[in-house]
Chain A
């Protein structure tokens, strides 16, 4: 039975066959009959977990902790486990996963396939650094254990491989100590993205998490103002966090395929909403003690944001620009913003550090993110921004932008062909496909 599935940005909707196996024999009996793709929480902005003619294999029933070695700081988990559920096991033991994207329902399998980053990209890198080994199932190759020492080629292709190498069943993750469950969060008001960059550059060495929120909802004197969010773990007695994140109903805004009324709130009130958000963010005191979960998962309780764009949804565009070019890039963005007159619902800046390989969204520099409505001006703005990103030696996140053309990816990712060729050598029939892999001709 097919049913409509929609990407989180509401940009892609397809009728797909969706299976939810709950036993190993159901997964391991999958035959190489036709295209398929794993689906975790379904929270990728882009259509990474479903595609035309592909069966989506829901992995969320495989959500168990298989082994935990507190001394060696290592946990083996099934790939369908959510970060929040894992956090409930690790936090009371004073451990954590170093790299976490901003929502607790996201699965470990999704983090691996997307090679995600968090608010500490400049310090802890991307998810690839957390994964020690993994277990993968491919209907032709069977069960594969992969790590840096065993099946290293498959290991490398699978991390950040968009789920195209098979179904990730389990992974062994490296853990780090959790210093406490409270974070001291400081908000530093800034007048421009350049000022935000300067603060981030200065605070990188001393802060555990760091990003800036910027207001590009309107032109004028206040355009580009915002505040930097700088977080530092506070070492103090641990509070009980059990049940804090996962024992809640999944907000409807995360299930965009469900039919319901969705007025385009941002169409009329984007400026006002950003104004309120700025005032809340810059009210005093600017330093606050904040519970860890509110800092790790800031989108919890704000899921309605995704609905504010109305039925047509939005596009999130995130590009990582080399440090030396970020000033030039932000100037170019400012000019494009003024020329196209397209309001931006959300703009953020983060710092990153790492090596740019394969299709990984990694490297040293600054991540600049914007959310825009998919209007004609919005799409034109993004197309121009693509050219600026290419000129400035940046790369755009494949996991964020549902519109990102294959030509741009080819230009931004020098190892695009390497990834594509290796994937084809590993699986000539290319069994695992999604709307993203189809758009990117992988």
Chain B
């Protein structure tokens, strides 16, 4: 299996790369920092004996077509695409500097959509899996994480559209999208969390176990479903008072 992981420097992306290597996949890793990629690639080659290539590129400023060319030149074909990249900013609220806002929208939404869009024909050709990482922050708009949530919601909508289109065309591709709760990564480090964070390697194992299943959009871990359903249905007079 040829798998591309976008956002593999740390957290879920890196854990996923490890689980895929354990399952024997040939890997292509993309992230912003070469130092992290080099270390992860070396580790996976030594521990699992798989072939791992990588490319350090900032998704927010990437030449998508050139990137696709580099990936296909190395892998030949692509069976699984994991769009895991995410970026959050502490100042993300109702009004933040334009440069930060643009980056939040690009990394968590628009550039991810453009990247997957470019690879869609390749996934159709291989009848592969398209897996996206969203967030519980995209379920209902609130004061905090406004742009992060908006971008992830946009990404989710695009994945839904892709699933619909691929189902109607009888392509045989599976599209999976995870609304992730807190993960124990540096993104949540030092923050006071309402619920316990999930270890990235546990999340990665679930995602790999779900490959080839037509499951659509899922909460991960599942217990965010009742929490977020309640939050979504909470009447506005109550919701507007919540400090979240």
Which residues does A use to contact B, with CB under 8 Å?
A: 1, 17, 19-26, 61-62, 64-68, 78, 88-89
Contacts and interface: CB of A to CB of B under 8 A. Distances in A.
B189 A65 contact: no
Given A21-B186, A24-B33, 16 more contacts: A1-B190, A1-B191, A19-B190, A20-B189, A22-B186, A26-B186, A62-B39, A64-B39, A64-B42, A65-B43, A65-B46, A65-B47, A66-B39, A67-B46, A68-B46, A89-B47
Given A22-B11, A22-B185, A61-B10, A1 B192 contact: yes
Nearest to A26: B186
Contacts of B46: 65, 67-68, 89
B208 to A, nearest CB: 16
Contacts, number: 47
Contacts of A25: 33, 35
Contacts of A20: 186, 189
Contacts of A19: 189-190
Contacts of B39: 24, 62, 64, 66, 78
Nearest to B11: A22
Interface of B: 9-11, 14, 33, 35-36, 39-40, 42-43, 46-47, 185-186, 189-192
Nearest to A75: B46
Given A1-B192, A64-B42, A65-B42, A24 B186 contact: no
A78 B14 CA distance: 15
A26 B42 CA distance: 20
A66 B42 CA distance: 5
Query: Which residue, A21, A64, A68, has most C-beta atoms of chain B within 10 A?
Result: A64
B10 A22 contact: yes
Contacts of A23: 9-10, 33, 36, 186
A19 B186 CA distance: 8
A62 B185 CA distance: 13
A67 B191 contact: no
23 contacts: A1-B191, A1-B192, A17-B190, A19-B189, A20-B189, A22-B10, A22-B14, A23-B10, A23-B36, A24-B33, A24-B36, A24-B39, A25-B35, A61-B10, A64-B42, A65-B43, A65-B46, A65-B47, A66-B39, A66-B43, A67-B42, A68-B46, A78-B39
Contacts of A61: 10
A64 B35 CA distance: 12
A78 B47 CA distance: 14
B122 to A, nearest CB: 29
B155 to A, nearest CB: 22
B11 to A, nearest CB: 6
B87 to A, nearest CB: 12
B11 A64 contact: no
A22 B190 CA distance: 13
Nearest to A64: B43
